[in-house]
């Protein structure tokens, strides 16, 4: 039996992610919600979701036993899928929480979206994807070019290497990093668990390939 661990580091309501992942999982796959490093180390796949502040995510994962177990698996080539804060923590820092550290897996920072009289922040609701750098199979599974997915956030990642960006969306003057990927590590700023059929298709592709 293969095991996918949905990492629970104490912040955000993860049950909707767990339920969506179990719905998408193939027969014979165990989907385990856990914050134990030993469970992470045994996982065949990792999903790192999360909502809330970068500061809290950093406090739970940067140079902690749980965070180090995640990094160990990433370095070993274990498939990693991050959602929202699970994407942002891959970067070095965030304007939201000066002094808090991310994993630094990708070079770059997390920056605040710019609002206006007509553009509300947080960016909340459905938006359509524009593929970049050839896209990615997970993004294709979620509808590909023009596919609609669900966002809830006020910050987004700005990578030093634009080549890792697999999709963006437009929100006013903001070109938002919607998905990033390199090798075994993929993450989305949007929420598959809130994106209905598109999100289930994305999760199913991650769990079965």
Catalytic residues: 84, 191, 193
The torsion angles phi and psi of 126, rounded to 5 degrees, stand at -85, 145
- For residue 117, give the DSSP letter: S
Please name which of 25, 40, 21, 28 lies closest in space to residue 2, comparing C-alpha atoms: 28
* Residue 5 DSSP one-character state: E
The first and second tokens of residue 182, run together, are: 């390199």
Distance of alpha carbon 152 from alpha carbon 83, whole angstroms: 11
Report the distance separating Cα 90 and Cα 92, nearest Å: 7
Query: Measured on CA atoms in the order 33, 79, 50, 142, is the torsion positive or negative?
Result: negative
Contact 72, 173 (CB under 8 A): no
Angle at 133 between CA 201 and CA 173, to 5 degrees: 90
């Amino acid at each position: 039996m293969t095991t996918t661990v949905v990492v629970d580091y104490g912040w955000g309501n993860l049950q909707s992610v767990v339920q969506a992942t179990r719905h998408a999982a193939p027969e014979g796959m165990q989907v385990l919600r856990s914050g134990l490093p030993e469970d992470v180390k045994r996982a065949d796949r990792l999903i790192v979701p999360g909502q809330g502040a970068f500061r809290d995510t950093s406090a739970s994962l940067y140079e902690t036993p749980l965070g180090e177990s995640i990094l160990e698996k990433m370095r070993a080539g274990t498939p990693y899928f991050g959602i929202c804060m699970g994407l942002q923590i891959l970067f070095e820092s965030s304007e939201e929480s000066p002094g808090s550290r991310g994993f630094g897996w990708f070079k770059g920072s997390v920056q605040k979206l710019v609002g206006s009289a007509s553009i509300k922040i947080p960016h909340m609701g459905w938006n359509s994807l524009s593929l970049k750098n050839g896209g990615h199979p997970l993004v294709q599974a979620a509808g590909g070019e023009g596919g609609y997915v669900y966002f809830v956030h006020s910050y987004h990642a700005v990578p030093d290497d634009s080549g890792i960006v697999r999709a963006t969306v437009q929100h006013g003057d903001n070109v938002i990093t919607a998905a990033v990927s390199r090798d075994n590590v993929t993450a989305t700023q949007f929420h598959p668990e809130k994106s209905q059929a598109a999100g289930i298709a994305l999760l199913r592709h991650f769990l079965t390939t």
